[in-house]
Amino acid sequence: MSIKLFDLEKKEFFYEKVPAEAFMQFMYNSMLGRLSVWALFKRAFFSKLGGLWSHSKFSKCTIAGFIKNNNINVDEMLYAPENFKCFNDFFTRALKDGARTPEGVNSPDMVSFPSDGRHLLIRNVSQATSFYVKGQKFNMAEFFKDKKLAEAFEGCDMLISRLAPVDYHRFHFPISGTIVARKEIKGALFSVSPIALVKRLSILWENKRVLNFIENQYFGMCAFVEIGATNVGSIVNLRSVGESVERGDVAGYFNFAGSCVITLIPKDKFQWNETLIEMSSQNVECYTKAGKFAGK
């Protein structure tokens, strides 16, 4: 199975192979596979085992092959591949200054994509019934684990940014503002592969996640949410509650494997990229990199 994506920079469609597709199809489309997911793969201890391997010196030997097989740009890395002590050092790598500088002037009414990856925009999330496939609705109360917070974000726009294992795994603030609160919610560690999300959108409010609430001068209260997934050892935030942040600042990183970040902006406050709107209405994710302007 290949996923149809649209590249916002090249302005063309392309197809991306699903990593470990046969295994993922078995896990989420068969009774035995679903039982295995419930009993083993969604559990924290399984991801911890992956984390132990990725932090071990034995994992270093896989870095060169991973870079070659996935055509990863080594020129933008802050440190050369041979300087990494383990696979996770490479996976959470920093980039050189300017590699993900946000586009446009830094004003309060600007939004940029928070990560490298595949992006899907859901406008008026409370009313939407099309997430990856038609007929799925998003449970905001479960997502926030708080009915009042869900009501406060009623009708907001949701940008889902999905990172694959091959991506640069630091995430950046999509807006400027002040981090006024942070809430960590414990949960499972299901895969966020589209194979899994098509079958079970509830993964996005069942998985472990960190909610950051950012007060922005123009938009008001926004939310930036980091969602764990299978083999994500941990979510690391580099900025603290009470700090002022600029759009494009590095917010944190995921330790090992694919994951997802979600940006919530109040309804009708931002004019999104028209191609992103059009592709998302067809459930086609758009590929672009962190720092690219998300508006018209």
- The residue whose two tokens read 């592709």 is 279
Spatial CB neighbours of 288, under 8 Å, sequence gap ≥ 6? 7, 8, 9, 113, 116, 119
- CA gap 277, 271 in Å, rounded: 10
20 SS3 class: coil
Burial class (CB in 10 A: 0-12, 13-18, 19+), 202: middle
Catalytic residue among 59, 119, 172, 191: 172
Phi first, then psi: what are they for 198, rounded to 5°? -60, -40
Residue 54 annotated to the active site: no
Catalytic residue among 47, 112, 115, 259: 259
- Phi, psi (degrees; rounded to nearest 5) at 147: -65, -35
Say whether 116 is catalytic.
yes
Exactly one of 115, 116, 119, 161 is catalytic; which is it?
116
Euclidean distance between CA atoms 44 and 97, whole angstroms: 34
List residues with catalytic annotation: 116, 172, 259
